[in-house]
Amino acid sequence: MKITELAKILDKQLEMLYPDCAGKWYVSFRRGEVIDGCILIGETGRGANPQDALIDYARKIRGKRMAFGAHTKDRMEFVIPNDLSGAL
């Protein structure tokens, strides 16, 4: 499954940040955090261009449980598919 397809299914936004001073692009789900035991981790994909950042992010969250709006009454959790790809 493509990460853009997952974003549509979950009705969640992917946020792409412009290159930093080192020229890296960043991407992550808005208000999404990876759950590692009882710890929430703000995972981010990085790359030399937007596509590389998406590929890196998909690799990092593949098969993980994620919380969206973790500290709100509207918290939702999903398990990210193991076949997630960063392809557009």
The confidence score (pLDDT) of residue 6 equals 95
For residues 86 and 31, what is the distance between their CA atoms, to the nearest angstrom?
19
pLDDT of residue 88: 73
Residue 8 within any structural domain of the chain: yes
Q: Is 51 left (phi over 0), alpha (psi -120 to 50) or beta?
A: alpha
Domain presence at residue 48: yes
- Ramachandran area for residue 23 (φ above 0: left; ψ -120 to 50: alpha; else beta): left
- Chunked into runs of 10 residues, the chain (88 residues) has average pLDDT values of 95 91 92 96 95 96 96 95 90
Look at residue 84 in the predicted model and tell me its pLDDT: 95
Residue 85 lies inside a defined structural domain of this protein: no
pLDDT at 55: 96
Containing structural domain, residue 44: 3-79
Number of domains making up the chain: 1
Residue 46 located in a structural domain: yes
